[in-house]
């Protein structure tokens, strides 16, 4: 299956374009970019452009790698890595809506939805199946957990645990129950995840120490609960905190 490259699109020497890719008019695929099979790049998107770092030497050989089946809409920019031989990474079957931006050295998982005008700074890590709402901005080195959903226009400067809903400025408002059920999480797994969430967010103390103690005891068996707790024990940035406990309890009861 051959790629389709429309007139006025630019694919630079050294770029790789997989089978079945569609590169629309005006799109630019820079040298060092690697597109998996069936990637669609809409007009005026730029894949593998130079990182926006003052001290970066453009002669350094780096790239951006896009997973199979990902769709990249108009004016999206995905910058290449700053580290020699390294790549900014985007997974398979992602959707990048118009004018979103992925900065150097970020890693985006599979099946991620990035809405219009989302801004990912350098070294951001986004887990599989996350949904990032329009206009949300993410501080460098932030981690966005698997299956989380971030509201539009949010300002994220801390790590977002897996399977949570977050809005405003690092404000956790509960679990992404709809997303969990759509991906086939069992009732038992959801209930255990709820227990892990309450343990971490409804008790006073160091959030990482609480999560680490729960992991050590082996109380939680489901993959979802263990991923939630493990994520919290890791990383160097702060963990996003919950809204007022009363509000969370009211939503959970509903």
Are 167 and 193 in a shared domain? no
Counts of helices then strands in the chain (DSSP H, E): 5, 26
The catalytically annotated residue of 105, 110, 128, 159 is: 105
Contact predicate 33/66, CB 8 Å: yes
Question: How far apart (Å, rounded) are the C-alpha atoms in residues 171 and 136?
Answer: 13
Task: Respond yes or no: is residue 105 known to be catalytic.
Answer: yes
Domain boundary among 175, 205, 234: 175
Are 169 and 217 in a shared domain? no
Q: Please give the pLDDT value at position 54.
A: 96
Are 67 and 134 in a shared domain? yes
Are 67 and 13 in a shared domain? yes
Query: Distance of CA 121 to CAs 38, 77, 127, 136, 155, Å?
Result: 26, 12, 15, 11, 12
- Domain membership of residue 65 as a residue range: 4-175
Task: Respond yes or no: is residue 250 known to be catalytic.
Answer: no
Q: What are phi and psi for residue 157, nearest 5 degrees?
A: -120, 0
The catalytically annotated residue of 36, 104, 145, 179 is: 104
Q: Nearest-CA neighbor of 37 among 61, 70, 76?
A: 70
Residue 254 pLDDT class (50, 70, 90 cuts):
very low
Q: Residue 214: in which H helix or E strand, if any? A: helix 207-217
The catalytically annotated residue of 122, 127, 145, 174 is: 122
Are 115 and 187 in a shared domain? no
Task: Respond yes or no: is residue 110 known to be catalytic.
Answer: no
Kindly report, residue by residue over 41-97, the tens digit of the pLDDT: 999 999 999 999 999 999 999 999 999 999 999 999 999 999 999 999 999 999 999
Which CATH number covers residue 225? Answer: 1.20.1180.10
Are 150 and 210 in a shared domain? no
Are 134 and 108 in a shared domain? yes
pLDDT of 123 over the 80 cut = yes
Q: Please give the pLDDT value at position 253.
A: 44
Q: Please give the pLDDT value at position 235.
A: 87
Contact predicate 91/110, CB 8 Å: yes
Kindly report, residue by residue over 148-164, the tens digit of the pLDDT: 999 999 999 999 999 99
Average pLDDT of the residues of the chain: 95
Kindly report, residue by residue over 197-250, the tens digit of the pLDDT: 999 999 999 999 999 999 999 989 999 999 999 999 998 899 999 876 554 544
Question: How far apart (Å, rounded) are the C-alpha atoms in residues 57 and 52?
Answer: 11
Domain boundary among 175, 190, 205: 175
Residues whose CB is less than 8 angstroms from the CB of residue 190 and which lie 6 or more positions away in sequence, other chains included: 175, 177, 180, 181, 224
Are 132 and 235 in a shared domain? no
Domain boundary among 175, 210, 242: 175
Helix axes 207-217, 223-233, angle to 10 degrees: 140
- pTM recorded for the entire structure: 0.95
Give exposure, 219-240, as e/b (b: 16+ Cβ within 10 Å): ebebebbbbbbebbbebeeebb
Which CATH number covers residue 165? Answer: 2.160.10.10
Are 193 and 144 in a shared domain? no
Are 136 and 154 in a shared domain? yes
Are 153 and 191 in a shared domain? no
Q: Please give the pLDDT value at position 247.
A: 47
Q: Please give the pLDDT value at position 250.
A: 44
Are 158 and 198 in a shared domain? no
Q: Tell me how many domains the chain contains.
A: 2
Residues whose CB is less than 8 angstroms from the CB of residue 211 and which lie 6 or more positions away in sequence, other chains included: 200, 229, 230, 232, 233
């Amino acid at each position: 299956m051959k790629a389709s490259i429309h007139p006025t699109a630019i694919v630079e020497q050294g770029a790789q374009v997989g089978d079945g890719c569609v590169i629309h008019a005006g799109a630019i695929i820079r040298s060092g970019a690697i597109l998996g099979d069936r990637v669609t790049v809409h007009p005026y998107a730029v894949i593998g452009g130079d990182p926006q770092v003052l001290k970066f030497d453009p002669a350094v050989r780096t790239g951006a790698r896009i997973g199979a089946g990902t769709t990249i809409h108009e004016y999206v920019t995905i910058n290449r890595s700053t580290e020699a031989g390294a790549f900014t990474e985007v997974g398979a079957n992602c959707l990048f809506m118009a004018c979103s931006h992925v900065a150097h050295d970020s890693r985006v998982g599979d099946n991620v939805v990035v809405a219009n005008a989302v801004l990912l700074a350098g070294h951001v890590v986004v887990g599989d199946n996350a949904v990032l709402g329009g206009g949300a901005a993410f501080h460098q080195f932030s981690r966005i957990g698997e299956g989380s959903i971030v509201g539009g226009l949010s300002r994220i400067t801390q790590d977002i645990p897996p399977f949570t809903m977050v809005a405003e400025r690092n404000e956790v408002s509960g679990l992404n129950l709809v997303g969990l059920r759509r991906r086939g999480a069992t009732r038992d797994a959801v209930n255990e995840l709820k227990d892990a969430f309450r343990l971490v967010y409804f008790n006073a103390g160091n959030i990482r120490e609480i999560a680490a103690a729960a992991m050590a005891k082996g109380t939680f068996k489901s993959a979802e609960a263990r991923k939630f707790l493990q994520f919290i024990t890791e990383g160097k940035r702060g963990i996003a905190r919950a809204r007022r406990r009363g509000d969370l309890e009211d939503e959970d009861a509903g």
